Structure 1
Amino acid sequence: MSSANAVDDGVDGGVGGGAGGAGDRAVVDLLGVLAYAELTAFDRLAEDARLAPTLAGRAALARMAAAEIGHHQRLCDRLAELGHDPAAAMAPFTAPLDAFHDGTRAGTWLEGLVKAYVGDGLARDFHREVAAFLPEPDRGLVLEVLADTGYADFAVREVRAAIAEDRRLSGRLALWARRLVGEALTQSQAVIAERDDLAELLITGTGDLNGVADLLQRLMDAHGERMRALGLNG
């Protein structure tokens, strides 16, 4: 298959093989990593809600946590529909995702907001790029699950308001965000390196290594936009 045909297949019908082929295994891998990511997002949002300085903020995060567990269930239902045990599909990804969250545990309300907006935002962008190479209905499901639950506007509003009151927060939060993006990229690379089918999907879908480089540039461009939205220097 030529590079051009590979990209066309990714756009029109998804990259994949027959039943049980590498493409099918890549679908299961992506659904599995996202299912675990949504579960950990629920845990973290529920935990961060207790750091909220206001009841309104606490309630907002609680509602977002509920949305995340709903996404988790949809992904698990799809895995079961495909004949896979959701727990088994998630298992390969627990260690790298847990390592990321353990190594970037937020100590304050604002750090938690920046982590979810910047760190999780980068991971979601990456998974959204990979989802473009999936066949339907899995492509549509993944894109729906990755849609913003309202967190972005909430985080931007809270962080910008805090910086307006204390400009010293800007530098500290910018450093924190840079650390997060480095850890998030490392986590994504670790996941791809350990899952050959996901790596094959990524290479085939983008066409070649230049396509992968273009994908990474899009991720960094989107990260820069998020940093500017927060009022932080990238």
Structure 2
Amino acid sequence: MTEARAEISSGVVDLLGVLAYGELSAFDRLAEDARSAPTLAGRVALASMAGAEIGHYEMLANHLYAHGASVEEAMQPFRKHVDAFQESTAPRTWLESLVKAYVVDNLAADLYRELSTVLDDEVRRIVLTVLDDTGHSAFAEREVAAAIEADSTQRDRLSLWSRRLLGEALTQAQYIVAERDGLAELIVAGSVDLSGIAALFRKLQQGHAKRMQVLGLG
């Protein structure tokens, strides 16, 4: 007799679904960016990161399945907004690709770590494992620093690019939260501030500003 699988809440399904689609999109993005890398070292670095992203996707898919949920169905509500973000922020250069991945990955990590505080131990462990840095941050910091040192005009251009990425990402995130009550409830449950969602987005902006200083684009 097959053992019954414990169901998980709609909010957790949404959280794992948007994470899974984010990982799948990251795999596509990094695999494509790897092909345009100017060096073999860059190609290898991004291909390795892409492999890690698809591994994370499979971990999320397996957990959803183990609890009676379909990863395809869980991802479906988020395709429109994630795809809209990807299409509106298509990089034109290798450096823009690196900065985009750096900004998006770290914003996502900040967001989901905040939400992980209200998850049970098993789901929290999976979420934090998925958010582990695949090595992109240090790689991007080195590449951007070298590019700015070689051509100081890159700093202003990439700074503008990072601000655009932040604005587009937060806009799509707001749309998603407005449409998914389960996610909104998770955010409110995990917030010590009565303003909840607004407070979380302010915190994300603050984290982004600090990282841009580290990247040399503050």
- 5+ residue gaps, structure 2, are 1-5
Q: Does 1:98 align with 2:83?
A: yes
Provide, for residues 161-190 of structure 1, a one-character-per-residue CA deviation record: whole Å limited to 9, x for no partner: 000000000000000000000001011111
Taking every aligned residue pair, what percent have the same amino acid on both sides? 56
Quick check: 198-207 or 65-74, which moved more?
A: 198-207
- Within a 5 Å distance, the mapping from 1:127-138 to structure 2 comes to 127-138=112-123
> Retained in 1: the 8 A contact 2:24–2:54?
yes
Q: Does 1:115 align with 2:100?
A: yes
> Retained in 1: the 8 A contact 2:17–2:71?
yes
Q: Does 1:180 align with 2:128?
A: no
Give the Cα separation in 2 of the matches to 1:190 and 1:211: 16
Give the TM-score of the pair, scaled to structure 1.
0.87
Q: Give the drift of 1:217.
A: 3.1
> Retained in 2: the 8 A contact 1:163–1:169?
yes
Match of 1:156 in 2: 141
Give the Cα separation in 2 of the matches to 1:29 and 1:178: 27
Match of 2:9 in 1: 24
Q: Which has the higher contact order (CA 8 A, sep 6+)?
A: 1
Give the Cα separation in 1 of the matches to 2:180 and 2:200: 19
Give the Cα separation in 1 of the matches to 2:170 and 2:194: 17
Q: Does 1:143 align with 2:128?
A: yes
Provide runs of 4+ in structure 1 moved above 6 Å. none
Quick check: 223-232 or 33-42, which moved more?
A: 223-232
Match of 2:22 in 1: 37
Match of 2:44 in 1: 59
Match of 1:7 in 2: none
Q: Give the drift of 1:206.
A: 1.0
Instruction: Determine helix, strand or coil for the equivalent of 1:209.
Output: coil
Please report the RMSD computed on the Cα atoms of aligned residues, expressed in angstroms: 1.4
Question: One-letter code of the match for 2:184?
Answer: A
Give the Cα separation in 1 of the matches to 2:174 and 2:164: 16
CA pair 128-162 structure 1, distance change in 2 beyond 3 A: same
Match of 1:70 in 2: 55
Question: One-letter code of the match for 1:186?
Answer: T
> Retained in 2: the 8 A contact 1:123–1:184?
no
Give the Cα separation in 1 of the matches to 2:104 and 2:52: 18
- 5+ residue gaps, structure 1, are 1-18
Q: Give the drift of 1:124.
A: 2.3
Question: One-letter code of the match for 1:123?
Answer: A
Give the Cα separation in 1 of the matches to 2:29 and 2:148: 23
Give the TM-score of the pair, scaled to structure 2.
0.93
Give the Cα separation in 1 of the matches to 2:130 and 2:137: 15
